Amino acid sequence: MPDAEDVRRIALSLPDTTEKIAWSMPTFRVAGKMFATLPEDETSIAVRCPKEERDELVLAEPGKFWIADHESQFAWVRARLRAIEDEAELRDILADSWRQAAPTRLLDAHPRLGLPAE
């Protein structure tokens, strides 16, 4: 089961990512744009996710994903760390969120990062 240190290590391994405390919690940003947070007691993560996909994730895996009330109008979803299968799944979740926040120059420089394996 991944933990907060795994989140931090993997997030910071993504290109041009920094960690910044905001709202009294660690946030991870690519080129200054937030793509992940470690809210509350660091037992979950919040990541960017298009609303349509987010709703499907929550319906498909309600024990893993949920939408925090104060984030319902935004394209973010929460994931319980204890429900994430392994580091590979955590990396996929974080990299997908990174892609949604990364500027074009980074997407062009890392075209396969965060995309499903072919």
Asked whether the predicted pLDDT for residue 118 surpasses 80, the reply is no
| Residues facing 21 on adjacent strands | 26
> Looking at residues 82-109, what average pLDDT do you find?
96
Q: What are the pLDDT digits (tens) for 44-55?
A: 999 999 998 999
| Cα–Cα distance measured from residue 59 to residue 56, given in angstroms and rounded to the nearest whole number | 5
| Residues facing 37 on adjacent strands | 27, 46
Banded pLDDT at 31 (limits 50, 70, 90): very high
Calculate what percentage of the chain has a pLDDT beyond 70.
97
What DSSP designation does 117 have? P
Whole-structure pTM value: 0.93
> Looking at residues 80-89, what average pLDDT do you find?
96
| Cα–Cα distance measured from residue 118 to residue 113, given in angstroms and rounded to the nearest whole number | 12
> Looking at residues 76-95, what average pLDDT do you find?
96
pLDDT score, position 49: 96
pLDDT score, position 111: 87
